[in-house]
Chains A and B, each alone.
Chain A
Amino acid sequence: MSILVGKDTRLLVQGITGREGAFHTQQMIEYGTQVVAGVTPGKGGEWVHAVPVFDTVKEAINATGANTSIIYVPSAFAPDAILEAAEAGIGLVVCITEGIPVLDMVRVRYFLDDTSARLIGPNCPGVITPGQAKVGIMPGHIHRLGSVGLVSRSGTLTYEVVQALTDKSLGQSTAVGIGGDPINGTSFIDILRLFESDPMTDHVVLIGEIGGSEEERAAQFIATEMSKPVTAFIAGRTAPPGKRMGHAGAIIEGGEGTAQEKVAAFEAVGVKVARQPAEVAKLVAERM
């Protein structure tokens, strides 16, 4: 067992003929993911790394039974790609694309509320269940199957923590990057809920950062609805107010969204907060 992706994942790659799409399709196949189809409008009938390309998501589903989609489409076209996948009945849509306008995401989320699709991202590294399926751009080899569930707003910072866990022989059940944008498809709480009911997961690591108040809401959820231990790390203790730190969502606005507030919110509900990435593994090991 695991959450979101696994042996049953039949993956469709939107934007498969692009440079990024083609490169990561190969990487995902090498990792063992079942990549069953690709979609690039106007390029139906082509093949990329022995994967058939279709013009539309509907056609791809009908021909291959794809149940999950990953999007490597440029930001101007990615919102449309998300909507097409959701409308066609894909259950899980993972959007890697960075730089989607916020108002586009407002409309996308609004539309998704009326479909059964779950969106992960955008602006995220994707989802991986070690040894089963990699639906994303993360380096697969640093992961190892185990019982720690990870959820993060970041990419490379997650790899850093995964590496530290793996170095201490602490494997992962599933690692989920929910993305660094101010409006995304899936929240920390959504993923915490999935980990709480996943029999494979014994411990959860949450990696947050400055901006917004999702971490504070997650702390409340942990206090009231979770039995499994959670360890956290919050990036941006030294970030100044009013400046965007790379991620569109990483900004302290009107004095809100500081790392200090988030750390305090977690500590108040008994969640241990690491001061540096490597310390996460140490804190997890102490409680396993």
Chain B
Amino acid sequence: MKLHEYQSKRIFAKYGVPIPPGDVAATPAEARQVAQRLGGPVVVKSQVLVGGRGKAGGIKVARDSDEAEALADQILGMTIKGLTVDKVLIDQAADIREEIYLGITIDRAQRKPVIMASSEGGVEIEEVAKATPEKIFKLAIDPAMGLMDFQARNLAFDLGMRRAFIRQFTTIAKGLYRAFVECDASLAEINPLVVTGDEKLLAVDGKIVLDDNALFRHKDLAEMRDVQEEVEAERQARQAGISYVKLNGEIGCMVNGAGLAMATMDIIKLYGAEPANFLDIGGGAKADKVAAALSIILSDPNVKAVLFNIFGGITRCDEVARGILEALNEVPTEVPMVTRLVGTNEEEGRQILAEAQMATAKSLAEAAEQAVALARGS
């Protein structure tokens, strides 16, 4: 789960990371009030959960509160990469002299958190990694000891920071690490961390991505979820406990198990069509869950055929078959369906579908071939 910039920075501030004074506004009038309170030039920043807001025109500098109101009016309601802006952050503008990148994530190969820093702040770290990987400094963090002072100092020296900033930088890096650990984040990033004209370090932009699996012990963070930023079908799926990712193809698929769901998407492509989604109904899914999954798939108007691929283990094929029929009762549709059921109670499952005049395929390959043909209307 991603947090907005303003949410992330407020969390960082609690851990001793300096952030610019500012507040969130949902209307141009509110934006004016915040700007007035701050005084002087401000930055009006769209709060949407995607990168590249600046390039899309979603971040603008205002000289005064009049201009802040006008810019907020322009930015609120804007669409950036498919997401509508319904909040702006009004921050006091900083006098930026240098921009640094500072981020913490988990390194899968080392199985430890790593802190990354670069003197090329202000651009996405992936771009720096591609263009000038030698400008990124990385250190693994010992899970028992945490980020040690000398490590933070070493990073600061690697970055070529002046001595006057070393202590500030150490405090910020250690604060960021504590925020990362205590929030159960998978990413905590300050980009850029700027050096200001009055010789201070300031976290001008920030981002936190939380580990969904740890949300159960962070009720306060879980409540920060911005449901307006989710695709409607993905929100429904999350609430039903289904793993769903919308894609752009024409064949919807419902599968049990993540690996098999990906393999099913791939085989659709192999037979000449594109998958409309990734969907894993999980182990042991009962009829009502199958029904919820089917209506989510059918809510995508691009779907021209649906492929069910169930390898029964804990999941029972007869339960799935009943779920399919139940769903079709609730959401009548003309979209053709192909079903492939194997494993636990497969005979009963096929029987149930046969009685409802629904065909079943014998193998995954056969099912994919049929689904592709049906989507093409042949």
Contacts and interface: CB of A to CB of B under 8 A. Distances in A.
Contacts of B217: 76, 101
A25 interface: no
A52 interface: no
Nearest to A240: B247
Contact of B261 (A106, A158, A183, A245): A245
Interface of B is mostly: mixed
A interface, how many residues as a size bin? 35 or more
A139 B343 CA distance: 8
A158 B259 contact: yes
B41 interface: no
Given A102-B211, A278-B364, A245 B143 contact: no
A266 B261 CA distance: 22
Nearest to B129: A254
A239 interface: yes
Contacts of B283: 137, 155
B165 to A, nearest CB: 28
Nearest to A250: B258
B267 interface: yes
Contacts of A235: 259-260, 262-263, 266
Contacts of B263: 157, 160, 233, 235, 276-277
A156 B213 contact: no
A171 interface: no
B311 A106 contact: no
Contacts, number: 168
B233 interface: no
Contacts of B184: 101-103
Contacts of A159: 311, 313, 343
Given A139-B344, A248-B213, A254-B126, A103 B181 contact: yes
A203 interface: no
Contacts of B262: 157, 209-210, 235-236, 238-239, 245-246, 250
A247 B129 contact: no
B270 to A, nearest CB: 6
B108 A239 contact: no
Interface in A32-80: 75-76
Given A139-B312, A163-B342, A246-B243, A182 B108 contact: yes
Contact of A101 (B111, B211, B261, B312): B211
B308 interface: no
B364 A276 contact: yes
Given A106-B143, A137-B314, A213 B211 contact: no
A247 B364 contact: no
Contacts of A100: 213
Contact of B109 (A212, A243, A244): A212
B225 interface: no
A237 interface: yes
A5 B258 CA distance: 25
Nearest to A75: B213
Contact of B211 (A103, A138, A259, A275): A103
Interface stretch (B31-39, B68-76, B198-206, B273-281): B273-281
16 contacts: A102-B213, A103-B143, A110-B143, A125-B313, A137-B314, A154-B258, A157-B260, A159-B311, A160-B260, A183-B106, A183-B111, A212-B108, A233-B263, A235-B263, A236-B266, A276-B364
Given A163-B311, A247-B259, 14 more contacts: A76-B217, A100-B213, A101-B211, A103-B143, A137-B283, A155-B257, A156-B311, A157-B260, A213-B108, A235-B266, A236-B266, A245-B262, A275-B270, A277-B364
Interface of B: 106, 108-109, 111-113, 125-126, 129-130, 143-144, 181, 184, 186, 211-214, 216-217, 243, 245, 247, 255-263, 265-270, 274-275, 278, 280, 283, 311-314, 342-344, 363-365
Interface of A: 75-76, 99-107, 109-110, 125, 137-139, 142, 152-160, 163, 180, 182-183, 207, 209-210, 212-214, 217, 233, 235-240, 243-250, 254-255, 259, 275-278
